[in-house]
């Protein structure tokens, strides 16, 4: 009994110390603008994902999408900004102006729609100026403010769970 008391005391003390160092930039504003970071090597239904966001009340002009592809083909008819791992420099900096613009834009919500940790995707998520970040549970939990455990191809469950909890958090 005495050992449990000491253990609880030290756990609480450690927790308080770690929370003092925690820095979050979550705002209480409602979600208006959405940044969508998609890994197209694992998920090919980006259009359907955007349509699901629109069904939830997000305007199309408020959704900005960038898509990661393992191999980017110049003549491919993709209407989103695409990039590959070659855009990441050895120093960790990103060479593309479009990606840097995406990172520096202050989105109300960033959806990191990838479930495999790739260096450039992690770097974009980490450096993003988004107010609220959402991603999959298979990715490092320190990157996102909110994580959802589902399969990547089950986008409708991901979106429904996301908006269910955004309503509970008074974000929409």
Cα dihedral angle (149, 152, 156, 158), rounded to 10 degrees?
30
H-helix or E-strand spanning residue 160: helix 155-168
pLDDT digits (tens, 9 = 90+) for 75-99: 555 678 888 877 877 666 778 899 9
pLDDT confidence tier of residue 28, bands split at 50, 70 and 90: low
Of 56, 49, 40, nearest to 156 by C-alpha is 49
Distance, in Å, from the CA atom of 16 to the CA atom of 4, rounded to the nearest integer, reads 18
Question: If one looks up domain 29-169 in CATH, what number appears?
Answer: 3.40.50
What is the pTM for the complete model shown?
Answer: 0.80
Q: What are the domain boundaries of the chain?
A: 29-169
pLDDT digits (tens, 9 = 90+) for 44-69: 888 999 999 999 988 999 999 999 98
Distance, in Å, from the CA atom of 8 to the CA atom of 55, rounded to the nearest integer, reads 47
Place of tokens 């930039």: 25
According to DSSP, the β-strands at 63-68 and 133-136 are unpaired
Distance, in Å, from the CA atom of 32 to the CA atom of 90, rounded to the nearest integer, reads 35
Task: Give me 169's structure tokens.
Answer: 């958090």
User: Is residue 34 within 8 Å of residue 53, measured between CB atoms?
Assistant: yes
H-helix or E-strand spanning residue 123: helix 119-127
């Amino acid at each position: 009994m005495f050992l449990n008391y000491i253990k609880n005391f030290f756990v609480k003390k450690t927790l308080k110390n770690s929370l003092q160092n925690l820095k979050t930039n979550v705002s209480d504003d409602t979600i208006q603008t959405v940044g969508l970071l998609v890994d197209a090597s694992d998920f090919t239904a980006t259009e359907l994902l955007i349509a699901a966001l629109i069904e939830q009340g997000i305007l199309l002009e408020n959704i900005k999408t960038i898509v990661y592809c393992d191999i980017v083909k110049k003549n491919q008819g993709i209407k989103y900004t695409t990039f590959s791992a070659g855009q990441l420099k050895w120093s960790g900096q990103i060479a593309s102006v479009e990606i840097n613009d995406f990172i520096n834009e202050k989105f109300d919500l960033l959806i990191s729609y990838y479930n495999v940790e790739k260096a450039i995707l992690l770097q974009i998520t980490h450096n993003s100026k988004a107010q609220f970040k959402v991603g999959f549970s298979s990715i490092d939990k320190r990157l996102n403010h909110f994580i959802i455990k589902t399969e990547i191809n089950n986008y409708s469950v991901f979106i429904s769970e996301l908006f269910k909890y955004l309503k509970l958090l008074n974000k929409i």
